[in-house]
Chain A
């Protein structure tokens, strides 16, 4: 696919150059100028699509499942250098190397979990975007639940407490005073 792209590119480039040369000789030729512009545009589009092709062509997979695993893993693993990017996004050298390693391990037939453990044994829990439940991280899950539970308790207790009786009497008195003032 890459080869045909290159061939096409060369043809287009050739056409553009001959068109430009033709332009020099003849007077202003609108139609030719248009084809040149068009050709250059096509060329730019093709050239801009090259990096994407190159990145995909670098890793060839045996099965679609393997490719799928590669994509999930590179999205789930975190780059230790550019800390808020996964290794699929990051352009740091370490991310390049980790992608290479993930690919190599997949080729060896390692499962996703094995690869995650491999990276964790080198870069710690930090490297995986899914934190494990430990004593320190338990609060991430327990915290919100605990908060809701306590809030519910408070609300329920508040409601069950009836206003004191003398309050009712006071209210009646206040109403009476208001009535009196109205008159």
Chain B
């Protein structure tokens, strides 16, 4: 009887081990903690994929809730999710911006011309639908590296202030949209429009009070 607690020790240790290993069965090693969560976008100045004269900076993504989609024509999963993203754009007016990077383009050797990349992109978008408001061309893949991108497709949900609120690795399909990305996106859109209204109200109040002050001054 005295030895009962002592006997229980291996049993407890064993059950802890079982729980630990059982949890390991369902853990996804690819799921990494994103380092950019709740941070502003890293600084960049990149050309538009189709019009290289146009340059984008993080400021261009402010003012509207955006889903930044990291993709490339070489990425099979990107092609799979493209029709659904297009559907989201058409039916729910989701603002999707592409961050395009090319796999075959070795920045040190430059094996591909821009016009060929553009041709490939046009072909792919005409086949699967074009969900993008525009595409930012990450020529040297530096911005992807700054964002902690490991491959494609990856998605960043960016709020109206330009802060990254979610980093989703993998494709967006109906299930992912309804359970993970969609609710946050809708919440952020509601917040953004709420802020707009508030700001307007504040503005009105400020104007009114200044008017009152002015009247008092008179």
A124 touches B150 (CB 8 A): no
Q: In the assembled complex, which residues on chain B have CB atoms less than 8 Å from the CB atom of A123?
A: 32, 35, 148, 150
> Is A97 interfacial (CB 8 A cutoff)?
yes
Residue A25 lies at the interface, judged by CB distance under 8 Å to chain B: no
CA distance A126 to B169 in the complex (A): 16
**Contact, CB under 8 Å: A97 / B29:** no
> By the criterion CB–CB under 8 Å, are B103 and A124 in contact?
no
| Chain A interface, >50% SS class | helix
Q: Bound state CA distance, A93 and B74, in angstroms?
A: 12
B145 at the interface (CB under 8 A from A): yes
Given contacts A97-B145, A101-B145, contact A81 B32 (CB under 8 A): no
B9 to A: closest C-beta gap in Å = 10
Which of B107, B108, B148 has its CB near the most chain A CB atoms (within 10 A)?
B148
Question: Cβ of A94 and Cβ of B151 under 8 Å apart?
Answer: yes
Nearest chain-A residue to B103 (Cβ)? A93
Q: A100-B107, A100-B108, A124-B33 are in contact. Are A80 and B150 (CB under 8 A)?
A: yes
Distance between Cα atoms of A101 and B30 in the complex (Å) = 22
Neighbouring A residues of B64 by C-beta, 8 Å: none
Contact B146 A94 (CB under 8 A): no
B142–chain A nearest beta-carbon distance, Å? 8
Alpha-carbon distance between A126 and B146 when the two chains are bound, in angstroms: 16
Task: Decide if A130 is an interface residue (CB 8 Å cutoff).
Answer: no
A-chain residues with CB within 8 Å of residue B168 when the two chains form the complex: none
B151 and A83: CB pair below 8 A? no
A58 is an interface residue with CB less than 8 A from chain B: yes
Q: Is the CB of B145 within 8 A of A126?
A: no
Query: A98 an interface residue at 8 Å Cβ cutoff?
Result: yes
Q: Which of B137-159 contact A (CB under 8 A)?
A: 141-142, 144-151
Interface residue SS majority, chain B: loop
Q: Does B145 contact A80, Cβ atoms closer than 8 Å?
A: no
What is the 8 Å Cβ interface bit string for chain A, positions 85-100, against chain B (1 contact, 0 not)?
0000000111001101
How far does the Cβ of B19 sit from chain A's closest Cβ, in whole Å? 15
Partner of B32, one of A80, A100, A101, A121: A80
CB neighbours of A81 from chain B (8 A) = 150-151
A98 and B34 CA atoms in complex are apart in Å by: 17
- In the assembly, what is the distance between CA of A120 and CA of B33, in Å? 11
Contact residues, A145-179 vs B (CB, 8 A) = none
Q: Is the CB of B145 within 8 A of A98?
A: yes
A97 touches B141 (CB 8 A): yes
Q: In the complex, what's the smallest C-beta–C-beta distance from B106 to chain A, in angstroms?
A: 8
Chain A residues, Cβ within 8 Å of B146: 122
What's the minimum C-beta distance from B170 to chain A, rounded to whole angstroms? 13
Q: Mark A112-132, 1 if CB is under 8 A from B, else 0.
A: 000000001111101000000
> Chain B 27-53, CB within 8 Å of chain A: the 1/0 string?
001101111100000000000000000
Could you tell me the distance in whole angstroms from the C-beta of B145 to the nearest C-beta in chain A?
Answer: 6
User: Is B150 touching A126 in the complex (CB atoms < 8 A)?
Assistant: no
Chain B CB within 10 A, most for which of A92, A97, A126:
A97
Mask, A6-29, CB within 8 Å of B = 1, is 000000000000000000000000
Cα(A71)–Cα(B52), bound, Å: 37
Chain A positions within 8 Å of B, measured between CB atoms, are 58, 80-81, 83, 92-94, 97-98, 100-101, 120-124, 126
Interface residue ranges, B against A (CB under 8 Å): 29-30, 32-36, 103, 107-108, 141-142, 144-151
Top 7 A-B pairs, shortest CB-CB distance:
A80-B150, A122-B148, A81-B150, A97-B141, A124-B33, A123-B148, A124-B35
Given A122-B145, A124-B32, 6 more A-B residue pairs with CB atoms under 8 Å apart are: A58-B108, A83-B29, A93-B103, A97-B144, A98-B145, A126-B32
